[in-house]
Structure 1
Amino acid sequence: MCKACDYTIHGRNHHFGWDRANAPVLTIEPGKTIEFECLDSSGGQLTPSSKLDDVSRLDFARINPVTGPIRVEGARPGDALKVTIEAFKPSGFGWTANIPGFGLLADQFKETALQLWSYDRDTLSPAAWSPWAKVPLKPFAGTIGVAPSAPGTHSVVPPRRVGGNLDIRDLAAGTTLYLPIEVDGALFSVGDTHAAQGDGEVCGTAIESPMNVVLTLDLVKDANLAFPRFTTPGPVTRHLDAAGYEVTTGIGTDLFEGARAAVAQMVDLLSTRTGMPAVDAYMLASVCGDLRISEIVDQPNWVVSFYFPRIVIE
């Protein structure tokens, strides 16, 4: 465990929905450092020995558990919770799946698929997807947020003004995140840890991986943030940049359809070039390729680009 941490929160202290009525598992003074034991997004339902049929048997009531909540003394609506992401302690195991009905191209990929990953948790050397690819790793927490003010239980799946399932891969070690607070105490939770993900998480899953997260929680009084914001400690794509990118585009009046077109073309390109099945190319794109809005001012058509790092397949 973390010797520099003030507290450790074990994975058994998790919940499956945002709710301002959730009882805190710990109350802290601002400025404390905590190690969180985070489950993967399946809540432990998928393991290194899982088979394809296990994806079909997933209990979606147990999806995306988050560890917490933590009450921060003095936190009030209008303040911001300052979350300094100190470190990740990966497990060495991960999974990626195509889940029917979920993902950007769900209408094109209707069959279940599963990829199990084993990686070096100490060196974080690129994780092999034999025989086609090796993916550089960048651990982060996909779900990180505080309780909303609206009463009742709210799904963890969609992102919200107060954070939640943001799936921003640059919320990595060294980044500082600021979250709008809507309830007294903030009620902070974190989970859905990933070993790697592309911007967009296009198939709906990344390299989903249980791991511990070390965070420092502090307050910025009267910040009055409209939405979350964050600061990175340096370049954000250096782990993928070395060999350049293959890029496909989608152009039209609808950004969502443009994104679908760009990803579909990349799936075709990867399948043709490597010989991998299309569904594998789709999942691989999800864990390391990036969707970008390249142009949104030249009416009536917008440009969406999909960047796939060549280092993965060279």
Structure 2
Amino acid sequence: MATHRFTPTRYHNAIGTAEPCFRLADGDTLITDTIDASGLDAHEVAVAPRPNPMTGPFFIEGAEPGDTLAVRIDRLTPSRATGWTYSPLALTVLDPAAIIDRPPVQRVVWDINRNAGTVKLQEPSPGLEDFAPEIAPMIGCFGVAPAGGQAFSTATSAQNGGNMDYRLFAPGTTAWFPVSVPGALFYLGDGHACQGDGEITGTGIETSFEMQVTFQVLKRSIAWPRGETAEDIFCVGNARPLDQALQHATTEMSRWLGEDYGLDARAASHLMGQVVRYDVGNVFNPAYTVACRIAKRWLTRR
């Protein structure tokens, strides 16, 4: 087990099979830099999902198709004192009748005050002069290469992860991804200093980051991304329409409860029916994201 510092010189706008930029062993820790998509203009973001520049791919020794790559998010540190977002609300979250009154797309800059632990608009809109939410770093887009030589734009997501924009992919969380190619070929990027559920303006507070993650290869198979925090376990479904994403996440959670907690389908339904929570990840990009989450206090491992 070792810690490696990698400085990228190129970035990718797709997650797929590509020449690895660096190799790590099972158990190793990676510290690397990510950048945001600040070069795109407002018109491009308004008419199409933007690509997210990814750092990677990283080859993880011992990861083989059928395995699971566990990625513990150790630290996410903004490397700039500013970030940016767009307004107004995305077309996908508005009633069709409200779209005609939607104002033009506008790009704004936020100050990231690490000492105060807050973010604040440089030029506040009326009524937001004192608005200063807490910094809450998260990874918007990360995952592993899909099977069959495929490559997915970093504007979307699938079974291999991708642009999920789920707020619980934050420091302290361990994310699990199904491995489909030798070495897993792991990518990460799209760091947000703060974001509400859904990424409903098409952006979190986008900025560059130094990220630290630790890898573990698990000799088990999963179908969709999973995650674990100190308090919860969750499964992620990525699809469109939204109900299909929910179905993927729910089915994966039912499987997990059987595999690790000894609950058959009927017992899992009793538990999930009363204590499950659903979180909305990305609802802006081509595939939507839903997380099916259960508090660990209801669970006993077997």
TM-score range normalised by the length of the shorter chain: 0.5 to 0.7
1:26 to 16, 22, 27: 22
The aligned residue for residue 227 of structure 2 is: 230
Q: Give the conservation status (yes or no) of the 8 Å contact 2:27–2:215.
A: yes
Q: CA–CA distance in 2 between the matches of 1:164 and 1:292?
A: 17
SS of 2:136 mapped into structure 1: coil
Q: CA–CA distance in 2 between the matches of 1:128 and 1:196?
A: 12
The aligned residue for residue 45 of structure 1 is: 39
Q: CA–CA distance in 1 between the matches of 2:118 and 2:180?
A: 40
Q: CA–CA distance in 2 between the matches of 1:170 and 1:61?
A: 22
Q: CA–CA distance in 2 between the matches of 1:292 and 1:57?
A: 28
SS of 1:68 mapped into structure 2: strand
SS of 2:104 mapped into structure 1: coil
Q: CA–CA distance in 1 between the matches of 2:279 and 2:24?
A: 39
Q: CA–CA distance in 2 between the matches of 1:118 and 1:103?
A: 28
The aligned residue for residue 112 of structure 2 is: 119
Shift in alpha-carbon separation, 1:5–1:123, aligned structure 2, 3 A: farther
The superposition leaves residues 21-61 of structure 1 with CA deviations (integer Å, 9 ceiling, x where unpaired) of: x0000111111111120111x1x416xxxxxxx42367979
Q: Give the conservation status (yes or no) of the 8 Å contact 1:9–1:67.
A: no
Q: CA–CA distance in 2 between the matches of 1:87 and 1:119?
A: 17
Provide the alpha-carbon RMSD of the alignment: 3.0
Q: Structure 2 regions of 5+ residues with no counterpart?
A: 234-240, 244-277, 281-302
Q: CA–CA distance in 2 between the matches of 1:101 and 1:230?
A: 27
The aligned residue for residue 63 of structure 1 is: 51
1:86 to 64, 67, 74: 74
Name the TM-score, length of structure 2 as normaliser: 0.67
The aligned residue for residue 250 of structure 2 is: none
- Equivalent residue letter for 2:218: V
Q: Structure 1 regions of 5+ residues with no counterpart?
A: 47-53, 237-253, 257-290, 294-314
Shift in alpha-carbon separation, 1:156–1:74, aligned structure 2, 3 A: same
Shift in alpha-carbon separation, 1:153–1:201, aligned structure 2, 3 A: same
State the Cα distance separating 1:10 from its structure 2 match. 2.3
Q: Give the conservation status (yes or no) of the 8 Å contact 1:64–1:156.
A: yes
- Equivalent residue letter for 1:215: V
% same residue: 31
SS of 1:190 mapped into structure 2: strand
- Equivalent residue letter for 1:187: L
- Say whether residues 1:10 and 2:7 are aligned partners: yes
Q: CA–CA distance in 1 between the matches of 2:94 and 2:116?
A: 34
The aligned residue for residue 220 of structure 1 is: 218
Q: CA–CA distance in 2 between the matches of 1:83 and 1:194?
A: 18
Q: CA–CA distance in 2 between the matches of 1:89 and 1:119?
A: 11
- Say whether residues 1:175 and 2:173 are aligned partners: yes
Shift in alpha-carbon separation, 1:141–1:255, aligned structure 2, 3 A: closer
Q: Give the conservation status (yes or no) of the 8 Å contact 1:55–1:99.
A: no
1:97 to 86, 93, 108: 86
Count of residues in correspondence between the two structures? 228
State the Cα distance separating 1:154 from its structure 2 match. 2.1
The superposition leaves residues 203-262 of structure 1 with CA deviations (integer Å, 9 ceiling, x where unpaired) of: 2111111111100011111x21111111112489xxxxxxxxxxxxxxxxx978xxxxxx
State the Cα distance separating 1:106 from its structure 2 match. 8.8
SS of 1:56 mapped into structure 2: helix
The superposition leaves residues 146-188 of structure 1 with CA deviations (integer Å, 9 ceiling, x where unpaired) of: 0001324321111110111111111111111111111111000
Shift in alpha-carbon separation, 1:61–1:12, aligned structure 2, 3 A: farther
Q: Give the conservation status (yes or no) of the 8 Å contact 1:127–1:134.
A: yes
Q: Give the conservation status (yes or no) of the 8 Å contact 2:16–2:144.
A: no
Shift in alpha-carbon separation, 1:227–1:62, aligned structure 2, 3 A: closer
